Amino acid sequence: MDRRLGRERARCHGDDALGSSFGPSLVTSLGPTGEVSTPEDFLEVLRTGRKDKGMPSAAKMGLDSVYFDGLYRYLAGRGRGQLKGGRPARLEQPPPQ
């Protein structure tokens, strides 16, 4: 994940995306019964922000959309109990031939 994206997320949504006094738990929000439970809903929130809740769009925060699909998969996987918190392990690369 882009470091800036991680800092912006942690600032409002807390360490490990479990929520803070500024923003809700992304793990819960992206879980099966959360209010942002589909990739389309998640991308819409990033695209438009939540002005009523003080969340700017990802573009206003200068975040690169190349990370959004992976971020959704990670947070939704945590919300479904398929992944644990913390930095995901890097995918192993096959050795060069």
pLDDT at residue 47, as a whole number:
92
- Determine the CATH number of domain 3-79: 1.10.760.10
Q: What is the full per-residue pLDDT of the chain (97 aa) written as tens digits?
A: 445 555 555 667 767 777 777 788 888 888 899 999 899 999 999 999 998 988 889 889 888 889 899 889 988 998 888 888 776 666 666 666 6
Distances (CA, A) of 1 to 4, 5, 35, 95: 8, 7, 23, 23
- Give the pTM: 0.73
Q: Which is nearest to 79 in space by CA: 22, 21, 39?
A: 39
Distances (CA, A) of 16 to 74, 78, 94: 11, 10, 29
pLDDT at residue 25, as a whole number:
83
